[in-house]
Amino acid sequence: MNWSITRRIAPLAVLAAAALALPPLSAEPALSFTPIWVPRNGEVPKEARQKALDGLAAQQSDPQHIAVLIHGFDTPVFASDKQYNQVAPVVKAQFDKLHERVAVLGVQWDSNVGPQREWLPAEFGSVVFGFVGMKKVIRDPYTSRVPIARTMGRVGLREMLFDVQDRFPNAHIHLMAHSMGAEAAAHAINPEFTPIKSDTPIYEPAKPLKLDVVALAGADLDFDSGAKSKPVNPAAAPRLIWVTLPKLGASRDKVLDLRKRVRSKAAIGNAVPRFRQDQYDALISTRRLVFDTLNIPNNHALVDYWKEGRVARIAAAAAGIRDPEHNPSELLKTCDAVLAAPAEVGKITPFLIGPETSPKIYALWRLEHILDGSCAHLSDGYDEKVLSETLDDPNWLTEERTRTDCKVVRDGLWPPADVVALSRKRYQKKHDKDDEETHQQFFTQPVVGTLDKIR
């Protein structure tokens, strides 16, 4: 088989293995969340929505927060029940630690593509025929769920969220979307996140949703989809967009690596999202963006993305947004400190050092505006390229600083000094090891008996 085709097909085994790794199910447990089923046309009966609202009220009669869980691709109801039953108690426990009242809504949608013995061969065939330019011969089960997710977001999810707003006007609503669930979340917030047709169904298109934290974990969205999207209604802009992604050079989400091969583009959950300059300016100046690069699971599992540590940090951010005077989020406090610092290079540069990615991005954004007049180098991916190249070869950076027109890079501010030092240390260690191996091979004694054979 052609090697290029093999490279595209082989990762499908990762999907199969991941699905087979799901633990066996026992008797149905009581649900720790309130479910709502959204059919593929997005139209949720009023009775079902009312039942969900009553379920939320049963959890908390006067909730301060409502967390909305949204699963991704190929997740049947029984699987999402199990996953949400693991995540909902974690959400409740972390909000409870902050003395914040929360109810959990679990959105379930038609992402299931049936038994693996049926959809995996279809996916295999779709990839093979697509490679030779015959994409429509076999329908791709995976991409067939994308329009369903978008319709669910534009119609059913929007309507349910408006119902929640009306029933609980004092509650702060947060979306926690995983994988392809990010498609639904994005299109609920901005129905024109991707182009629409004249007959595209949208529930109350002009009405803005009021959302606080929108957390996208392992998001199965094109990394540049935000930059290509139509601007969102400012009144509907979430108060914080929280995106998980791996640090450059760190362990990545293997399933999203597969997604890149199938769809020929990296996902937001596995790459630095691309935003326009106006988007970066709006998001960072108002502290509405978090890049979460801590503890990224490589198995893409919903329950591993929504573990205690990440949920605790999201809960703290949510509590801080609700009550800024008693903000428990150290991350948001640090981002605020970056924005509040005087417009002086020496005052902002220290924020480039530290374990969290978001304060570094905020500091980089400010330094670019001070020194370069805009965040063009952040927006067009140049800063990412410089960091990536430096991690591979710090000597490249030395030369780049002599030829770049980016003052932040030229003046030695980016990449951060600690990253450059670590890269140089690793680079030297690697080359010392290579030199040692070459030295050993050159001076290795002949194998016993070789000289006798020569004689």
Question: In this structure, are 357 and 324 located in the same domain?
Answer: no
Domain assignment present for 260 = yes
Could you tell me if 404 and 410 are in contact, meaning their C-beta atoms sit under 8 angstroms apart? yes
pLDDT at 126: 45
Give a yes or no: residue 445 inside a domain.
no
Q: For residue range 404-415, list pLDDT tens digits in order.
A: 999 999 999 999
Using only C-alpha atoms, what is the Rg of the chain? 25
Is 447 within the bounds of a domain?
no
Q: Which of 288, 305, 328 is the last residue of a domain?
A: 328
Asked whether residue 265 is domain-assigned, the answer is yes
SS3 of residue 358 by DSSP = helix
* Same domain assignment for residues 211 and 319: yes
Does residue 443 belong to any structural domain of this protein?
A: no
**For position 123, what pLDDT does the model report?**
43
Whose tokens are 């509405």? That residue is 288
Out of 273, 293, 328, pick the residue that ends a domain: 328
* Residues listed for the chain: 455
Domains held by the chain: number = 2
Please indicate, yes or no, whether residues 205 and 172 belong to a single structural domain of this protein: yes
CB 331 within 8 A of CB 313: yes
Mention every residue, 6+ apart, whose C-beta is less than 8 A from residue 197: none
The answer to whether 329 and 312 are in contact (CB under 8 A) is no
Judgement on whether residues 352 and 234 belong to the same structural domain of the protein: no
Q: Which of 287, 304, 328 is the last residue of a domain?
A: 328
Residue ranges of the chain whose pLDDT lies below 50: 1-15, 17-23, 25-26, 115, 117-138, 438-455
For residues 297 and 346, membership in a common domain is answered with no
Residues 285, 386: one domain?
Answer: no
Q: Are residues 7 and 86 in the same domain?
A: yes
| Domain co-membership, 353 together with 320 | no
Alpha-carbon distance of 11 to 308, in angstroms, equals 30
> Do residue 14 and residue 90 come from a single domain?
yes
Residues β-bridged to residue 216: 177, 243
Domain match, 9 and 84 both = yes
Q: What's the rounded Cα separation, in Å, for the pair 75 and 115?
A: 11
Residues 93, 70 share a domain: yes
Count of other CB atoms within 10 angstroms of residue 454: 7
Which residue carries 């190249």 as its tokens?
Answer: 389
Rounded to 5 degrees, φ, ψ at 280 are: -60, -45
Contacts of 190 (CB under 8 A, 6+ apart): 229, 230, 232, 233, 236
Dist CA 201 CA 69 (whole Å) = 23
Q: Helices 116-131 & 12-20, crossing angle to 10 degrees?
A: 170
Q: Same domain for 350 and 323?
A: no
Backbone angles phi, psi at 342, to 5 degrees: -55, 150
Structural domain including 146 reads 3-328
451: in domain: no
Q: How far is CA 296 from the centre of its chain?
A: 10
Give the tens place of pLDDT for each residue, 104-135.
999 999 999 864 534 444 444 444 334 444 44
The reply to whether 183 falls in a domain is yes
| Any domain includes 185 | yes
